[in-house]
Structure 1
């Protein structure tokens, strides 16, 4: 993320610098997003540790800096929480008896000698062909991707019309630190890891992304739209924030 040229921004405390698209204060770098529809300031700490601030179009840069300065303790606390959660993510070894999630339930792995397909879920167990064990991660990702595409396609078909959303395509791919995305051309994408989440949490991810068809930011209007279709979204959102990292260690 380019930071030059940077201009000093006056605040009541720490020195801040701004390049228009970014704001740096107290050693932290924020990506700045502005919107004519935005009424309030909002700071976001991503799971990756990246920082952003969303603001109404006309808010001066020094007001952004002052707002960030007021929230510095909260921001540093959130950054530490994200880092701590990342360290908790388990790394899979693909050995007999190891548990693998699918729609919120853990299924034990069994390595088998004679099997026509690389991987299948049978009688509550994941069965992995032993000869495919050397590429087990790719095999699991391919299996999860196929299942996720089917599951989310059904969910989107059920809810899109109800939410007044025109969806041109449903995709499943590796989205990095995002669970999903909604593009201006009507394509909705989900991370393949979202199929590891419990159904009620995966559904929250889906409703969240469809709501972005109406409100591309996370404004109050956006959350109102989410609440219209998912009244308990706060509980689901909190669960995802606290437990979502547990599905990242494949």
Structure 2
């Protein structure tokens, strides 16, 4: 389908451009998502500081611009918070004594001279074969991915039955800056880093994504479904927003 260019809109003397994909206001660039199911406007500030806005399909361009302008103070505050949190994620080193998270607990690393497997978790420590330390991140990610696959499969099986959601596949992979996603065909995916979160927070991620199996957007119906199965979801969501960055440094 051929897309026609939209005319520039000017607000406050500053040019603002809108399209089906981008919206620029006051030097900020948003990714725009339109949906026939959407009834209200919603702005999201991702962990990276990336901005997006979800809007009803019939919402006028000027309406989006005015909504963003009303939220500028909130948006800039959130961007500053995300930038500050990003600074709290030091890169891990594969040396004796370094701490690595697993299901919310930190385990110290111990380099082993003689060990048959590359990595094991025993006696409260991650034990890494010293000769494999140069591949430490690759080995640890593989270990996390296998454990996450087992953990999330069990959680999804239990919660999906309770929530009345049909899931055909559970997949663990690198999802960039998303904790999870619910795709077409009943496939739910989780970031391998989600296995580093405390179990109660990882469970929130599961409930959140399964609720998307019934409600694709973050409508009131979506949050009602989440609350039905996780009454304290607000506290868990806030914890994830404030502390999730801790797992970024691997």
Q: Please report the TM-score for the alignment, with normalisation by the length of structure 2.
A: 0.95
Stretches of structure 1 lacking an aligned partner (at least 5 in a row): none
Closer/same/farther in 2, CA of residues 23 and 142 from structure 1, 3 Å limit:
same
CA distance in 2, matches of 1:135, 1:151: 25
Q: CA deviation at 1:14?
A: 4.5
Q: CA deviation at 1:10?
A: 4.4
Q: Does residue 9 of the first structure (1) align with residue 9 of the second (2)?
A: yes
Which residue is 1:30 aligned to? 30
Q: CA deviation at 1:113?
A: 1.0
CA distance in 1, matches of 2:160, 2:151: 14
Q: Does residue 115 of the first structure (1) align with residue 123 of the second (2)?
A: no
Closer/same/farther in 2, CA of residues 103 and 115 from structure 1, 3 Å limit:
same
Which residue is 2:80 aligned to? 80
Deviations along 1:162-212, one digit per CA (max 9) or x if unpaired, are 111111111111100000011011111100000000000000001100010
What pairs up with 1:86-101 in 2 under 5 angstroms? 86-101=86-101
State the secondary structure of the residue aligned to 1:161: helix
CA distance in 1, matches of 2:6, 2:148: 43
**Is the 2:20–2:33 contact (alpha carbons within 8 Å) kept by the matching residues of 1?**
no
State the secondary structure of the residue aligned to 1:235: helix
Identify the range of structure 1 (156-165 vs 238-247) with the bigger mean alpha-carbon deviation: 156-165
What pairs up with 1:88-237 in 2 under 5 angstroms? 88-237=88-237
State the secondary structure of the residue aligned to 2:206: helix
Deviations along 1:103-136, one digit per CA (max 9) or x if unpaired, are 0000111000111110000011100000110100
**Is the 1:174–1:191 contact (alpha carbons within 8 Å) kept by the matching residues of 2?**
yes
Deviations along 1:46-77, one digit per CA (max 9) or x if unpaired, are 11211111111211000000000011111111
CA distance in 1, matches of 2:159, 2:99: 32
Closer/same/farther in 2, CA of residues 19 and 75 from structure 1, 3 Å limit:
same
Count matched residues. Answer: 247
Identify the range of structure 1 (37-46 vs 228-237) with the bigger mean alpha-carbon deviation: 37-46
State the secondary structure of the residue aligned to 1:110: strand
CA distance in 2, matches of 1:6, 1:121: 57
CA distance in 2, matches of 1:134, 1:15: 51
Closer/same/farther in 2, CA of residues 6 and 60 from structure 1, 3 Å limit:
closer
Closer/same/farther in 2, CA of residues 38 and 130 from structure 1, 3 Å limit:
same
CA distance in 2, matches of 1:117, 1:7: 62
State the secondary structure of the residue aligned to 1:167: coil
State the secondary structure of the residue aligned to 2:53: strand
CA distance in 2, matches of 1:59, 1:12: 21
RMSD of the alignment, in Å?
1.4
Q: Please report the TM-score for the alignment, with normalisation by the length of structure 1.
A: 0.95
